[in-house]
Structure 1
Amino acid sequence: MSDRVIARTVGVLFIVGTVTAIVGGSLVLAIAEPGALGAVAADHGRVVTGVLLELVLALSVLGIGALLFPVLRRRDEGLALAYAGVRTLEAVFLMVAAAAALVFLASGPGTPAGGAAARAPGLVLAVREWSYLVGSQVLLGVGGLILYSLLFRAALVPAWLSLWGLLAAALILLRGVLEVYGLQLPGAWQAVLAAPIAVNEMVLAVWLIVRGFDAGGARASGGVRR
């Protein structure tokens, strides 16, 4: 694949990933609410749709890591491998979260009361929450720091876009770490820490689709194929 085709494909995958993360996450969110089993049983299709969208998100994440590797390795092969590895881990955690949501659906109102069977939905929900937290925030932030540091050093996109991405990745990583340690942030602060990376990825996506990688930066990193 030429660098131009890679850029356009990655741009599309960033858009697909962001849209499926927002829509899919909102559809599956109902399972975290009190009395979720009864509510979910009444709206089974909505949750299944959300899970399918989250699986598309995971595949998009895998695709981005794989497609960017040959471009990024020209600048720093070690960091390029690290980025691909982090994005693979992110996809795995997202898939585990999606699978846990499906298992939760199977723990419907017909689940026997008492004992381990009664505790199972709570355990599955905990797996879902932790997997999604680590994948969608912590690993997203780590991957973003690696990606934008490479993009900045290689001058593959404008410096302002890379610096914005570094700041946005640091903010979502901060939110993830705080929540991993049990700090429940108000909704407004959650939005403040998450919005910059979402908007940044959309701007990066449009840039890659319309302009591609900067030719001068790509040549300095070892050549560009248009």
Structure 2
Amino acid sequence: MKKRINSGRWSGIITGVLLIVGLITGIFSVVPVIDGVDYLAKASASENQVLIGSFFQLLMVVAYVGVPILLYPNLSQHHKGLALGSVAFGITAGVFIIIGVIILLLLLTLSHEFSKVGAENIAYFQTLGRLLREGRDLVNHVATTLAFVLAMFLFNWVFYKSKIVPRWLSVTGLIGSVLSILASLFFMIRVIDLDETYMILNIPIAVQQLVLAIWLILKGFNRAAQHPNK
């Protein structure tokens, strides 16, 4: 029993650490030069910024895939189907992150080629760059976000039903997940842009993710509710 409790405690700590890693890597994966107006001309000159952003974006895969996998043993005791769904969405988010990194590196390559061409080819590069950047935004802010937030919604729902974390924490996670899903959908249909409204809708889930991480690191799961059939 002691070994099982220690194992569950470490699982909570590592999950909490990965949640924080996901937030930190998300911040450092931002590449301002790609989001700027003159990205075709400036990206090649700021290659290190693009490569660093790509590196941190790849680190996000560890967090996005690792969190639902680490939670699976605890969640599956309460609802195996939802736990498995959370893992599936987490893996899907990881795949989309990798696709986003590939597009980012393609934009860097395009910028290098752009610096070599004459004025007569600018329109072609601008069109291709616009398509790649639009694709990257859709992959990062729609596909990836929806996949991971759906994973969070599922495991917060199991949290709510099982009470292995306080219900106020799971309820805020459910509300934050819904708001983040709405932000991605509104961006996809162009009701909003990547602006203040988009950020405001995503703040609740980010705050809940941080609080949940700290809770799991400091207190872990509710042991009384962790093994309902024991």
TM-score (norm 2): 0.89
Q: Is the 8 A contact 2:42 2:111 kept in 1?
A: no
CA distance in 2, matches of 1:186, 1:213: 36
Residue 5 of structure 1 corresponds to 10
Which amino acid is 2:133 matched to? L
Q: Does 1:14 align with 2:22?
A: no
Q: Does 1:165 align with 2:169?
A: no
Q: Secondary structure at the match of 2:164?
A: coil
Deviation at 1:191, TM superposition (A): 2.4
Q: Does 1:72 align with 2:72?
A: no
Deviation at 1:137, TM superposition (A): 2.6
Post-superposition Cα deviations, 1:93-133, rounded to whole Å, max 9, x if no partner, equal: 11111111011101124345268666432332222111101
TM-score (norm 1): 0.90
Residue 24 of structure 1 corresponds to 29
Residue 198 of structure 2 corresponds to 190
Post-superposition Cα deviations, 1:50-84, rounded to whole Å, max 9, x if no partner, equal: 11001001121111121111111111111111100
Q: Is the 8 A contact 1:137 1:175 kept in 2?
A: no
Q: Is the 8 A contact 1:90 1:136 kept in 2?
A: yes
Residue 99 of structure 1 corresponds to 102
Post-superposition Cα deviations, 1:172-198, rounded to whole Å, max 9, x if no partner, equal: 011011111121247332222111111
List runs of 5+ in structure 1 lacking aligned partners: none
Percent identity, please.
Answer: 25
Deviation at 1:208, TM superposition (A): 0.4
Deviation at 1:30, TM superposition (A): 2.4
Deviation at 1:45, TM superposition (A): 0.4
Which amino acid is 2:106 matched to? V
Deviation at 1:167, TM superposition (A): 0.6
Larger radius of gyration: 2
Residue 150 of structure 1 corresponds to 158
Q: Secondary structure at the match of 1:43?
A: helix
CA distance in 1, matches of 2:19, 2:194: 27
Aligned pair partner of 1:128 in 129, 136, 146: 136
Aligned pair partner of 2:145 in 137, 142, 147: 137
CA distance in 1, matches of 2:9, 2:188: 38
Q: Is the 8 A contact 1:93 1:134 kept in 2?
A: no
List runs of 5+ in structure 2 lacking aligned partners: none
Change (3 A) 1:213 1:35: same
Residue 220 of structure 2 corresponds to 212
Q: Does 1:63 align with 2:66?
A: yes
Deviation at 1:135, TM superposition (A): 3.7
CA distance in 2, matches of 1:118, 1:189: 28
Change (3 A) 1:178 1:118: closer
Deviation at 1:134, TM superposition (A): 2.1
Q: Secondary structure at the match of 1:110?
A: helix
CA distance in 1, matches of 2:64, 2:21: 10
Aligned pair partner of 2:88 in 85, 91, 98: 85
